[in-house]
Structures are given as C-alpha cells and as structure tokens.
Amino acid sequence: MSATPQPTPRKRAVVGVILRQNQFLTIRRSQTVAAPGKICFPGGGIQPGETEAEALVREIREELGISSIAGSRLYENVTGWGTSVAWWLTQIEEDAQVEINLEEVAHWSWMPPQVMLRHPDLLSSNRDFLASWRQARFVIPGITVPDDWDDADD
Ligand SMILES: Nc1nc2c([nH]c(=O)n2[C@H]2C[C@H](O)[C@@H](COP(=O)(O)OP(=O)(O)OP(=O)(O)O)O2)c(=O)[nH]1
C-alpha cells in the first residue's frame, strides 16, 4: 500500500516588534544569511518543539545578545516564499546593551515606521506587515499609525 503524499509543512518563523519612542528596533541582515542586506525585525525560524515565544527569545538573544520578553501576538501572515510568520510585540530592558552577532546581523537601529516603510531595502513581508497595520487589520499597543502616511505609501 502506498502512502498518500502529505503536503510539506510550512516553515514557521517568529519576529519581534520592539518599540521605543515611536520607533522600531530594526536590523540589517548580514551578507551571509538568506535575504542578505535586507532590513527587518529581529527573529528567525521556529525549531521543532519550541513555542513561538521560546523561539523569539532565543533568536533575539542569538542576534542581539540581549534578554527579551514576548508580549502579545500581533499578527500572522505568510510570506511570498511560503513561510508562516508570527509577529510579536516584544519587550527589552530600557538599558539593554545590544551586541550584534555579525554572522547574522550587519547593523541595527531604531527606525520610525514611515522610514521603515519607505526603506528601499525593507524585506517585502515587512512591507506587507506595515501596510496591514496602516489598514488597521491589527493594532500595535504603544504606537499609533502615523498621520502622515499617505495612500501612496502602501
Ligand atoms: N528575522 C526576520 N525574519 C523575517 C522577518 N519578516 C519575515 O517575513 N521574516 C521571514 C524570513 C524568513 O523566511 C523567516 C526567518 O528567517 P531567518 O533567516 O531570519 O531565520 P534563521 O536565522 O532561523 O534561519 P533559518 O535557519 O530559519 O534559515 O522569517 C523579520 O522581520 N525578521
């Protein structure tokens, strides 16, 4: 008897939306990982047996060298390349000392949402995330959609 072929499970990832004074903590991906040089949030793939929150905290530790706490799950979508991504509002200490892992991250910075949305190197799925926020499909506690986003931005 031949087994019925099963669909390949989607790859799952989790990302951290970290806020400070109306800006998001963004990273530029290193040249040696997938999507090299793209701007996005910290995060990564969920390993077997991990919860989303566990994977989030592990990835932020690996990439930025800091502790974090998974706050609330904001949104979920599927990238153009078929990865299911969970977006979590995430807390870090006020005085956290970021030390990037250069194998994974080339640079990090605080970025206002308008700058992020217009950034030419923004990862496409993050553009979708910001556009969905702009369209009020979900809210991000602690920050409101900027007034000066015009329709041309999404
Ligand atoms: N890190 C991160 N990944 C994101 C974001 N938005 C988004 O769609 N993704 C996708 C890209 C990838 O398909 C997946 C995570 O990939 P990754 O390359 O960062 O993960 P990783 O370090 O664990 O690498 P891998 O072993 O899973 O390949 O999530 C984001 O803002 N940050």
pLDDT tens, residue by residue, 14-23: 999 999 999 9
Rounded Cα distance between 68 and 124, Å, is 25
3-state secondary structure (DSSP) of residue 39: strand
Measured at the CA of 138, the angle between CA 135 and CA 140, to 5 degrees, comes to 110
Rounded Cα distance between 80 and 38, Å, is 15
Flag whether pLDDT at 49 surpasses 70. yes
Could you tell me the domains of the chain? 11-135 (3.90.79.10)
Distance (Å) from CA 45 to ligand 1 centroid: 6
Distance (Å) from CA 68 to ligand 1 centroid: 18
ipTM score of complex: 0.94
Distance (Å) from CA 3 to ligand 1 centroid: 32
Q: Is 125 in the pocket of ligand 1 (CB under 6 A)?
A: yes
List C-alpha distances in Å: 43 to 3, 27, 77.
Answer: 36, 10, 15
How would you class 15 by CB atoms within 10 Å of its CB: exposed for 0-12, middle for 13-18, buried for 19 or more?
buried
Flag whether pLDDT at 126 surpasses 60. yes
Q: Is 15 in the pocket of ligand 1 (CB under 6 A)?
A: yes
Structure tokens at 80: 């153009």
Q: Is 126 in the pocket of ligand 1 (CB under 6 A)?
A: yes
Q: What is the pLDDT of residue 147?
A: 86
Q: What is the pTM of this model?
A: 0.92
Q: Is 40 in the pocket of ligand 1 (CB under 6 A)?
A: yes
In this structure, what are the phi and psi dihedrals at residue 28, rounded to the nearest 5 degrees?
-105, 125
Q: Is 83 in the pocket of ligand 1 (CB under 6 A)?
A: yes
List C-alpha distances in Å: 13 to 31, 44, 69.
Answer: 20, 5, 17
Flag whether pLDDT at 5 surpasses 80. no
